[in-house]
Amino acid sequence: MFKKLTEYQVEGARVYFRFEKNRENIRPCVEAISEDIFNVFIDYSGMGHRTRSIEGELGERLNSGENTDQGKLESVSWEESGVVIRTSKMTAIVSDGFRVDFYDKEGMPLSLAYQGARKSGTGLSKEAVELLEKEGHAAAAGSKRVNVQEIRALDKSDCIYGLGDKMGCLNKRHYAYEMWNTDNPDPQEDNFKSLYKSIPFMLVLKEKGAYGIFFDNHNKTYFDLGKESEDYYVFGADSGNLDYYFIGGKNLKSVLTGYTYLTGRAPMQQLWTLGFHQSRWGYESEKEIRTIAQEMRKHELPCDCIHFDIDYMDHYKVFTWNKETYKDGKKVLSDFKDMGIKAVTIIDPGVKVEKGYDVYEEGIKEGYFAKTPDGEVYVNEVWPGDAVYPDFGNPKVRIWWAEKQKFLIDMGAAGVWNDMNEPASFRGPLPDDVVFTDEDRPAPHLEMHNIYGHNMAKAAYEGWKKFSGKRPFVITRACYSGSQKYTTGWTGDNHSIWSHIRMAVPQLCNLGLSGLSFIGTDVGGFGSDCTPELFARWIQLGCFSPLFRDHCAKGCKPQEPWQFGEEVLSISRKYINLRYELLPYFYDLMRECELTGIPMIRPLVLEFEKDENVKNRNDEFMLGDRILISPVVEQGAREKLIYLPKGKWYDYWTGEEKEGEQFFVRSAPLDVCPIYVKAGAVIPKYPVRMYVGNDKDDLLILEAYPGEGDCTHYQDNGEDFRYQEGAYNEYRITNHNGMVKIEKNHQGYREYGQILVKTKSKYKF
Ligand code: GLC
């Protein structure tokens, strides 16, 4: 669309460009956001930036159209190759056709605009589409040509990661995806284009270096990552702006730090949220759910939380309690509390249409629900039958919804589980033109869909922060880039099938690489019936997933750990116990994430990006930087092919020393999930406890492995925001072959009663 570059103009940190025959009102621009982040922007909408993922000072500045002074821009000059924009760490060169190329400081190309002709694509004729559809196939219409798009060159060795909860393998190269929050109950397959979450951020790992692209357009967006051609990838949208951030960095980790600098970092949660959670859709009564709590304790299974699914509500009306079946909610929850069990209650956005129901009446009176273009309140169907949709993009609606959380907090709940917020609808999809609000102006569903869950999470977070005074525990199914500031997440309705435990590993890893560090799958699988073997393997995977929740659907075989016989019960206990031992390690990782954006659970490639063997490794992951997990995800398997990257490793179970950079087979009977600890690692542990807080968290155990290593350990009250005023301890721990030195970097919280160092070695285990 753009022709010859004719002039440029520097305004603060932005450089605006003009091209031959360029429409007057379109002024493409490149802005240096930081030393290694550039924003590329074409204001097709005429409304400027309308980012909902970047908040705080930067987001406000972008949205207001204000510019900074020169900011991080070092120089701009017209050279042979085009207009050269330099920061201290990167260079962007803009040339004819608004081609933007990015180089590192040494002049090495990181990402170039694609120069060649675009392939005609794999578009099908009308006849071919008809034929395919006759047998019920969805016709893959080939790469869509869209109004807003960018085509960038791919190198042979480039691998692509991120993109949120997308299905399939870790490396997304060669595949095409869409960003449109989707509730599709069919068992998910590798070829699903979209799921519940839209996170239009990808990381590209090159032979040398890495970079990220964050396409901040919350309309429906498309990513073709080398499906159409080996030579380029395309991202685009039907509408909105071309608004993307190029994030440079030395490696994948620094790209992630850059992305979370823009969109925010997953904050510290309450410590108990890292414990074990039990859930099920279909605990029909107070009596049934009480039994679950009692069974947990009877079987000596540590457990911190039981989730209350839609069954607790009165006719699925949000912010109500079913007094008939669930009796006195306050009493149930306070009895749970006495047992050390917290309750998380589900809330859906769909508000039942019912005269006299306060939430409905208030929302109608205030005009808080989405409307049809004719101004009628828009009605579709969700669990309660006819339902209306709160317009969360309206700040007033968010304040109202935040206040509604008080109902749950007063009842004694400890967190909220936001579901069905794509938003889901049972009578066909919401039409594109349903009218919502985008902060200060009406906006169609098409534009608001992908941020509906995000705005709902934001409202819930604000409410819990204000009325509970604790760190809000919000879980969501749908979200957008930046939601990690407000909410944790789970991967929605998976099934109790082996392909879904396999898929969980790359899915969780890519979610972590997309900013959502606190994430988990429904352990055992949500739909379909779980088998004892599958459950045993899934509890092993769950043990190392940040959100560790057993959940399943109404009508499916019961799935609590004691439902599968003695062997599986004792395997479950073994891994839930291990999880409780590892709580301080998880907590340290959560702190690291808050500070840097590096997720708790990581694909191997994030830690060992030079290692060719891990670029496509789908069945192993790192928990932090020190523990490698190689879960068994195949039915019948009693051995596992393990790959350990360079260095020395120790088998967690036997202490056997293993040299890295090799594949080997380890036996993996049903009760063994292979785990390897890096040489020199120190793993902080707590003794097993039935729930967080039932001892004083007084004893810290440091397991030191042979070798040299160091780490940071973090400790605070695990509950509120006092740590932000300095009420925490931070220890620097160094390990010289089992000689462990502990120093304090920061003192602001009470000391441990005792710190016990346990030296591990192949001789002493
Ligand atoms: C949706 C959720 C699931 C929940 C069910 C009933 O399917 O994804 O987790 O149990 O609704 O609320």
Distance from the CA of 324 to the center of ligand 1, in angstroms?
22
Phi-psi category of 428—alpha, beta or left, where left has phi over 0 and alpha has psi -120 to 50? left
H/E stretch holding 76 reads strand 75-79
Residues 6+ apart with CB under 8 A from 661: 611, 613, 644, 645, 646
* Coil, helix or strand at residue 702: strand
Q: Is the CB of 478 under 6 A from ligand 1?
A: no
Paired sense of beta strands 675-678 and 682-685, if any = unpaired
Same CATH topology for 5-111 and 148-263: the answer is: yes
Distance from the CA of 493 to the center of ligand 1, in angstroms?
7
DSSP state of 273: G
Question: Rounded CA gap, 507 and 513, in Å?
Answer: 10
Q: How many helices (H) and strands (E) does the chain have?
A: 14, 47
Q: Is the CB of 527 under 6 A from ligand 1?
A: no
For domain 5-111, say whether CATH 3.40.50.10860 is its number: no
Q: Is the CB of 253 under 6 A from ligand 1?
A: no
Question: Rounded CA gap, 252 and 605, in Å?
Answer: 9
Distance from the CA of 472 to the center of ligand 1, in angstroms?
21
Among protein residues, the one whose CA lies closest to atom 7 of ligand 1: 493
- The listed CATH number (3.30.420.40, 3.40.50.300, 2.60.40.1760, 3.40.50.1100) that belongs to domain 148-263: 2.60.40.1760
Question: Rounded CA gap, 498 and 332, in Å?
Answer: 36
Edge-to-edge strands, sheet with 754-759? 682-685, 699-704, 754-759
Go through the chain and tell me how many residues it has: 765
The whole-model pTM stands at: 0.97
CA of 310, closest atom in ligand 1: 12
- Mutating to test ligand 1, I would choose from 311, 317, 347, 419 the residue with most ligand atoms within 8 A of its C-beta, which is 419
- Mutating to test ligand 1, I would choose from 322, 417, 420 the residue with most ligand atoms within 8 A of its C-beta, which is 420
Q: Is the CB of 350 under 6 A from ligand 1?
A: no
Phi, psi (degrees; rounded to nearest 5) at 106: -80, 0
Cα distances (Å, whole numbers) of residue 90 to 1, 42, 166 = 27, 21, 30
User: 127, exposed or middle or buried, with CB in 10 Å at 0-12, 13-18, 19+?
Assistant: exposed
Helices (H), 98-226: 126-134
Among protein residues, the one whose CA lies closest to atom 5 of ligand 1: 281
CA of 526, closest atom in ligand 1: 9
DSSP state of 97: G
CA torsion 461→465→468→474, rounded to 10°?
A: 30
Question: Rounded CA gap, 521 and 698, in Å?
Answer: 31
Using only C-alpha atoms, the chain has a radius of gyration, in whole angstroms, of: 26
- Mutating to test ligand 1, I would choose from 281, 313, 523 the residue with most ligand atoms within 8 A of its C-beta, which is 281
Do 515 and 266 form a contact (C-beta atoms < 8 A)? Answer: yes
Phi-psi category of 453—alpha, beta or left, where left has phi over 0 and alpha has psi -120 to 50? alpha
Nearest alpha-carbon partner for 271 in 347, 340, 346:
340
H/E stretch holding 627 reads strand 627-629
H/E stretch holding 198 reads strand 197-198
Q: Is the CB of 309 under 6 A from ligand 1?
A: yes
Distance from the CA of 478 to the center of ligand 1, in angstroms?
12
Among protein residues, the one whose CA lies closest to atom 10 of ligand 1: 281
The residue written with tokens 């909220």 in the block is 416
Phi, psi (degrees; rounded to nearest 5) at 210: -155, 160
Do 485 and 425 form a contact (C-beta atoms < 8 A)? Answer: no
Among protein residues, the one whose CA lies closest to atom 4 of ligand 1: 281
Give the model's pLDDT for residue 141: 46
Give the model's pLDDT for residue 137: 76
Q: What is the DSSP string of 716-745?
A: E-SSBSGGGGT-EEEEEEEEETTEEEEEEE
Distance from the CA of 328 to the center of ligand 1, in angstroms?
24
Residues 6+ apart with CB under 8 A from 685: 581, 582, 583, 584, 585, 700, 701, 702, 703
User: 701, exposed or middle or buried, with CB in 10 Å at 0-12, 13-18, 19+?
Assistant: middle
Sign of CA dihedral 674, 604, 178, 62: positive
Q: Is the CB of 560 under 6 A from ligand 1?
A: no
Distance from the CA of 370 to the center of ligand 1, in angstroms?
23
Grouped pLDDT means (10 residues each) for the chain, 765 residues: 93 95 85 97 95 97 90 94 97 97 96 90 72 75 72 97 97 97 94 96 97 98 96 96 96 98 98 98 98 98 98 98 98 98 98 98 98 98 98 98 98 98 98 98 98 98 98 98 98 98 98 98 98 98 98 98 98 98 98 98 98 98 98 98 98 96 98 98 97 84 97 97 98 96 97 94 64
Q: Is the CB of 581 under 6 A from ligand 1?
A: no
Give the model's pLDDT for residue 134: 84
CA of 279, closest atom in ligand 1: 10
User: 338, exposed or middle or buried, with CB in 10 Å at 0-12, 13-18, 19+?
Assistant: exposed
Q: Is the CB of 477 under 6 A from ligand 1?
A: yes
Distance from the CA of 600 to the center of ligand 1, in angstroms?
25
Give the model's pLDDT for residue 764: 61
Q: Is the CB of 492 under 6 A from ligand 1?
A: yes
Distance from the CA of 469 to the center of ligand 1, in angstroms?
28
Distance from the CA of 415 to the center of ligand 1, in angstroms?
16
The domain locations on the chain are: 5-111, 148-263
Active site residues: 419, 422, 493
Tokens of 385: 């039958």
Edge-to-edge strands, sheet with 99-104? 75-79, 82-86, 90-95, 99-104, 109-111
